Amino acid sequence: MSVSDKTALVTGAGSKRGIGRATAHTLAAAGWNIAILDLDEASAKDAAHEIEEQHGVQAVGLGCDVTDEASVASALAALDGSVPPVGALVNNAGITSPTRFLEVTGEEWDRIFAVNVRGAYNITRRVAPGMAERDFGRIVFLASVSAERGGGVFGGVAYSAAKAAQLGFTRALARELGPHGVTVNAVAPGLIDTDITGGALEGERKTQLVAGIPVGRNGNVADVADLITYLCREETGYITGVTYDVNGGSHIH
């Protein structure tokens, strides 16, 4: 059994400067075939084309709204038979919100939970049974340091609560799927230079933020992608239910 006969599915990996696309590239370099689901179908296809060209693996990009069960079902049906079975799932699709709690509306609260929590449920619920049947699977959630320290960097209460929900999701699912050869872990990035943080990582604000990071720099997407790829290896079968911090020491607990 090797990763070359399996597919790694990464949600929300369309953005050129995002953690998702970097992770898809790193997984492909390790021999995984790749499936990318993104709300922006054109960017998903662009990422898949780029990965096929650079790594010589099978890659497919599909438009998918993870908050919509029908959209998820349709995307996964399109994958079935076109690429090898899904052996790894990276729940990367997410949205942030800096809105303060006293201003946040119910509609915004629900939207943050719909993408980060319900979206992860919709895709994991459909992919996990096949993993359990095949006695192999690697599931990784992209949480956030905000879930652990209570926001305070970019995310407000809604975002921190949704990312904390992912941590509980990770731990309970790890217990349930462990007997079936499926590991479930979470990665909690701190300050990473992506499109989401881009504008905030400039000038005095950047200086202030980096001053609180022991290693003396912000993180980059490769710092996170390398760790996710490690967690998806076949050899990493005795690590499950764990949250890995990738924050340069800015939050040590």
Which domain does 181 fall in, by range? 3-246
Q: How far apart are CA 10 and CA 193, in angstroms?
A: 19
pLDDT tens-digit map of 178-237: 999 999 999 999 989 876 555 555 677 778 888 889 999 989 999 999 999 999 999 999
Q: How far apart are CA 192 and CA 15, in angstroms?
A: 14
Q: How far apart are CA 129 and CA 146, in angstroms?
A: 30
**Residue 234, in any domain of the structure:** yes
Structural domains in the chain (count): 1
| CA atoms 38, 40, 44, 45: torsion sign | positive
Q: How far apart are CA 8 and CA 241, in angstroms?
A: 19
**Residue 251, in any domain of the structure:** no
**Residue 89, in any domain of the structure:** yes
**Residue 23, in any domain of the structure:** yes
Contact by Cβ (8 Å): 93, 118: no
Smallest CA-to-CA distance from 236 within 226, 245, 246 is with 226
Q: Is 244 a catalytic residue?
A: no
Tell me, what's the pLDDT at 207? 82
Query: Which is catalytic among the residues 121, 159, 230, 238?
Result: 159
Average pLDDT of the residues of the chain:
94
CATH code of 108's domain: 3.40.50.720
Higher-pLDDT residue of 207, 2: 207
Whether 87 has a pLDDT exceeding 80, the answer reads yes
pLDDT tens-digit map of 41-86: 999 999 999 999 999 999 999 999 999 999 999 999 999 989 999 9
